[in-house]
């Protein structure tokens, strides 16, 4: 599964807290910057924030997927923030968001970018998996979740 490949210990925060969505996006972008996958923090943030201003990426069922393609990253990158208490992300269902997957890719990288978006959307369709992941309290447990998770059809 692509999320297992893209998520690393240094791109996961299990204690992101009850932030507003803009601060959460910035913190997750910083994880991608700190991981070395971003070449330009300002370009990464601008692309993600501009996309979010077009319409909320809060899918509902506790998941949000702020995302963009930008020259500000070297390769497809994913950061995950888990908020046990949840946060307002202007989600489609109006409920708090607990899992924020920030996905960024360079403009030429369509396939893996779309695969990552599809993997998160598929995860979001399975309430039991969302509940399991939102209860994770350590990076190691999050990585173990993705190591064992199998998306339908995979």
Q: Tens-digit pLDDT profile for the chain (154 aa)? A: 689 899 999 999 998 877 899 999 999 999 999 999 999 999 999 999 999 999 999 998 999 999 999 999 999 999 999 998 899 999 989 999 999 999 999 999 989 999 999 999 988 888 889 999 999 999 999 999 998 875 433 3
Catalytic residue among 67, 103, 117, 123: 67
pLDDT at position 150 is: 58
Residues 6+ apart with CB under 8 A from 100: 16, 21, 24, 25, 28, 63, 64, 65, 66, 80, 81, 82, 83, 89
Residue 153: per-residue pLDDT:
35
Describe the crossing of helices 127-134 and 111-124 by its angle, rounded to 10 degrees.
100
Domains present along the chain, CATH in parentheses: 2-148 (3.40.930.10)
Determine the 3-state secondary structure of 102 from DSSP. strand
Q: What Rg value do the Cα atoms of the chain yield, rounded?
A: 14
Q: Is 108 a catalytic residue?
A: no
Q: What is the pTM of this model?
A: 0.93
């Amino acid at each position: 599964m692509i999320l297992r490949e893209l998520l690393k210990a240094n791109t996961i925060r299990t204690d992101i807290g009850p932030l507003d969505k803009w601060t959460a996006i910035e913190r997750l972008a910083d994880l991608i910057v700190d991981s070395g996958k971003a070449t330009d923090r300002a370009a990464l943030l601008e692309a993600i924030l501009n996309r979010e201003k077009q319409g909320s990426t809060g899918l509902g069922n506790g998941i949000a997927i702020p995302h963009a393609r930008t020259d500000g990253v070297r390769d497809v990158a994913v950061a995950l923030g888990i908020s046990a208490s949840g946060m307002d992300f202007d989600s489609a269902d109006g409920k708090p968001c607990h899992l924020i997957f920030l996905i960024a890719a360079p403009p030429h990288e369509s396939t893996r970018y779309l695969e990552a978006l599809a993997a998160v959307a598929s995860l979001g369709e399975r309430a039991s998996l969302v509940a399991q992941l939102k209860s994770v309290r350590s990076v190691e447990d999050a990585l173990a979740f993705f190591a064992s998770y199998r998306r339908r059809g995979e």
